[in-house]
């Protein structure tokens, strides 16, 4: 009738696998369950198929949470160097792409295979294509049911991830379970997601689809300097994804399309030194041609720089150094990389990831209200929180 385990883990993604490995290593009889037909789908599709598995610059300031210092303990127990050591042990080749982001040279599948092998070595029992339909708790035992079986365990780890990309297994199961156990769940919102815009901006984006710029995008005191991409659907690229995690409806973004130049001063100088130079070709010397054309067109500016008034130079420089845009929304969970919000960290011990109210119940990974910036930080949170729960479940 029943299968008995020390630990049952729901969700065999990055966090779930890491916690299973650590529980198994401690000799705990561990069951890892996932409703997906394939293991680690998010790892497989991550980083364009090469998995940006951690970041050399991992630190608490790279995370968003109601309580940003919650992550300190998990990072102290298991950090980027610890995961890099594991990757090295498996001789997986990797490289730093930029800004401390570490990617596999070959394929994300190598990370999945490494984790699966570690699970095997730790005697973890893995059940895929198995949907958990109910969890209850009686006499200090968690009772987890799937369609055909019941599993009893003294510890239960919930690692069901966030809501992004539902077609590869994302579910709200973990949030519902937290509510069932009377835990506070902070409202969830798609993050690291392309933003959408009104028709006027969208038309401009369509004309510029494929053009990229190294931009600084800022919102109040938060700013990111990374690539920005014009697409048929709006604005995308790393800097837009990063700021999307901070953006709220009604707020405007400030986009600097040429951070390395103070365009106003540069154009004033040009007007003095080369008055006969064509304004369009001046702008084109530091911005992509199509972008330069559109900026001149929308400001109705043409001809030689010598003929430009201070007012027009200011207008032109503002639309390059200080372009204000107000998004109307986001593309939502369909294309979001992560989910903001989740199980309130006030409910959990930062040292163990166990619920303060319910001994034996753990929440780890993206289902918790910890969200990393783009760049390998989200996987590092999954590894760190998984490791920590694995020492205590
Ligand atoms: C396109 C894309 C690219 C990304 N690239 C990167 C990157 O390069 N670097 C980075 O750091 N982060 C990246 N991320 C984010 C990263 O993938 C997640 O933050 C991370 O996978 C979270 O790990 P997790 O184990 O908490 O959840 P997940 O990896 O989502 O795992 C949750 C698991 O739980 C299972 N599950 C859910 N509900 C149930 C249920 N009821 N019963 C049984 N099983 C269930 C799911 O099938 C899934 O396997 C990317 C995300 C996306 C969508």
What would the pLDDT profile of 102-132 be if each residue is shown by its tens digit?
Answer: 999 999 999 999 999 999 999 999 999 999 9
For residues 325 and 344, membership in a common domain is answered with no
CB of residue 338 inside a 6 A radius of ligand 1: yes
The neighbour count for residue 349, using CB atoms within 10 Å, is 15
Spell out the residues 6+ positions from residue 119 whose beta carbon is closer than 8 angstroms to its own.
17, 20, 21, 24, 32, 126
| CATH number assigned to the domain comprising residue 324 | 2.40.30.10
Look at residues 60, 11, 34 and name the one whose alpha carbon lies nearest to residue 365: 11
Please check whether residue 296 is in contact with residue 308, taking contact to mean a CB–CB distance below 8 angstroms.
no
Task: Note the pTM of the prediction, 2 decimals.
Answer: 0.95
Dig out the tokens for 352 from the structure.
């163990």
For residues 309 and 245, membership in a common domain is answered with yes
CB of residue 219 inside a 6 A radius of ligand 1: no
Which domain-ending residue is among 331, 354, 372? Answer: 331
For residues 170 and 283, membership in a common domain is answered with no
Look at residues 323, 317, 216 and name the one whose alpha carbon lies nearest to residue 271: 317
Q: How far is the CA of 271 from the centre of ligand 1 (A)?
A: 54
For residues 81 and 41, membership in a common domain is answered with yes
pLDDT tens for residues 49-59?
999 999 999 99
Which domain-ending residue is among 284, 300, 331? Answer: 331
For residues 184 and 198, membership in a common domain is answered with no
CB of residue 132 inside a 6 A radius of ligand 1: yes
CA within 13 Å, CB half, 277: 15
Complete DSSP assignment for 48-70: GGT-EEEETT--GGGEE-SSGGG
Helix or strand run (H / E) with residue 277: none
Nearest protein Cα to ligand 1, atom 33: 11
pLDDT number for residue 166: 85
Dig out the tokens for 105 from the structure.
């040279």
Distances 350 to 15, 68, 164, 385 between C-alpha atoms, Å? 15, 11, 25, 9
393 residues of the chain, pLDDT tens digit each = 799 999 999 999 999 999 999 999 999 999 999 999 999 999 999 999 999 999 999 999 999 999 999 999 999 999 999 999 999 999 999 999 999 999 999 999 999 999 999 999 999 999 999 999 999 999 999 999 998 899 999 999 999 999 998 888 899 999 999 999 999 999 999 999 999 999 999 999 999 999 999 999 999 999 999 999 999 999 999 999 999 999 999 999 999 999 999 999 999 999 999 999 999 999 999 999 999 999 999 999 989 999 999 999 999 999 999 999 999 999 999 999 999 999 999 999 999 999 999 999 999 999 999 999 999 999 999 999 999 999 999
For residues 218 and 181, membership in a common domain is answered with no
For residues 177 and 206, membership in a common domain is answered with no
Q: How far is the CA of 163 from the centre of ligand 1 (A)?
A: 9
Residue count of the chain, please give it: 393
Dig out the tokens for 187 from the structure.
């409202």
Please check whether residue 25 is in contact with residue 74, taking contact to mean a CB–CB distance below 8 angstroms.
no
Count of domains observed in the chain: 2
> What's the rounded Cα separation, in Å, for the pair 211 and 298?
17
Q: How far is the CA of 168 from the centre of ligand 1 (A)?
A: 9
| CATH number assigned to the domain comprising residue 124 | 3.50.50.60
pLDDT number for residue 67: 96
CB of residue 241 inside a 6 A radius of ligand 1: no
Task: State the alpha helices, DSSP H only, in 123-237.
Answer: 173-180, 199-207
Residue span of the structural domain in which 269 resides: 194-331
For residues 79 and 221, membership in a common domain is answered with no
CB of residue 10 inside a 6 A radius of ligand 1: yes
For residues 28 and 161, membership in a common domain is answered with yes
For residues 38 and 173, membership in a common domain is answered with yes
pLDDT number for residue 169: 83
CB of residue 45 inside a 6 A radius of ligand 1: yes
Q: How far is the CA of 263 from the centre of ligand 1 (A)?
A: 42
Which domain-ending residue is among 303, 331, 359? Answer: 331
Nearest protein Cα to ligand 1, atom 19: 378
CB of residue 333 inside a 6 A radius of ligand 1: no
Rg of the chain on CA atoms, in Å:
25
> What's the rounded Cα separation, in Å, for the pair 43 and 52?
9
For residues 24 and 171, membership in a common domain is answered with yes
CB of residue 33 inside a 6 A radius of ligand 1: yes
Cα angle: 167, vertex 168, 171; to 5 degrees: 80
For residues 286 and 365, membership in a common domain is answered with no
Dig out the tokens for 255 from the structure.
């986009």
Query: Which residue of 46, 94, 111 sits with most ligand 1 atoms within 8 Å of its CB, as the best mutation to test the pocket?
Result: 46
At residue 124, the 3 state secondary structure works out as coil
pLDDT number for residue 100: 97
């Amino acid at each position: 009738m029943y299968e008995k385990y020390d630990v049952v883990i729901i969700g065999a993604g990055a966090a779930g696998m890491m916690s299973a490995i650590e529980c198994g290593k401690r000799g705990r009889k561990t069951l890892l369950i996932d409703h997906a037909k394939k293991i680690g789908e998010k790892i497989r599709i991550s980083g364009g198929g090469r998995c940006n598995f951690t970041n050399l610059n991992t630190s608490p300031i790279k995370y968003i949470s109601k309580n940003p210092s919650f992550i300190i303990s998990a990072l102290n127990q298991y950090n980027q160097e610890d995961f890099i050591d594991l990757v090295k042990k498996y001789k997986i080749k990797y490289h730093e792409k930029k800004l401390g982001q570490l990617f596999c040279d070959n394929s994300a599948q190598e990370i999945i295979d490494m984790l699966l092998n570690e699970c095997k070595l730790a005697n973890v029992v893995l059940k895929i294509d198995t949907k958990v339909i109910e969890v209850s708790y009686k006499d200090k035992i968690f009772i987890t049911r799937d369609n055909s079986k019941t599993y009893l365990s003294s510890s239960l780890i919930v690692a069901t991830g966030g809501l992004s990309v539902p077609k590869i297994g994302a579910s709200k199961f973990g949030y519902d379970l937290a509510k069932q156990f009377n835990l506070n769940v902070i409202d969830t919102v798609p993050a690291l997601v392309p933003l959408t815009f009104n028709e006027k901006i969208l038309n401009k984006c369509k004309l510029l689809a494929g053009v990229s710029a190294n931009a600084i995008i800022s919102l109040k005191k938060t700013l990111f300097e990374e690539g920005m991409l014009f697409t048929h659907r709006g604005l995308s690229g790393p800097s837009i994804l990063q700021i999307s995690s901070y953006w709220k409806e009604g707020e405007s973004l400030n986009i600097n399309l040429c951070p390395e130049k103070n365009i106003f001063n540069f154009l004033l100088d040009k007007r003095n030194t080369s008055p006969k130079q064509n304004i369009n070709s001046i702008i084109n010397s530091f911005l992509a041609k199509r972008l330069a054309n559109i900026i001149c067109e929308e400001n109705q500016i043409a001809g030689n720089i010598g003929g430009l008034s201070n007012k027009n130079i200011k207008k032109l420089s503002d639309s390059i150094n200080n372009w204000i845009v107000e998004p109307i929304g986001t593309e939502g969970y369909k294309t979001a990389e992560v989910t903001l919000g989740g199980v309130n960290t006030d409910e959990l011990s930062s040292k163990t990831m166990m619920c303060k109210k319910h001994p034996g119940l753990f929440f780890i990974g993206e289902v918790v209200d910890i969200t990393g910036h783009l760049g390998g930080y989200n996987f590092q949170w999954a590894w760190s929180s998984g490791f920590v729960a694995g020492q205590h479940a």
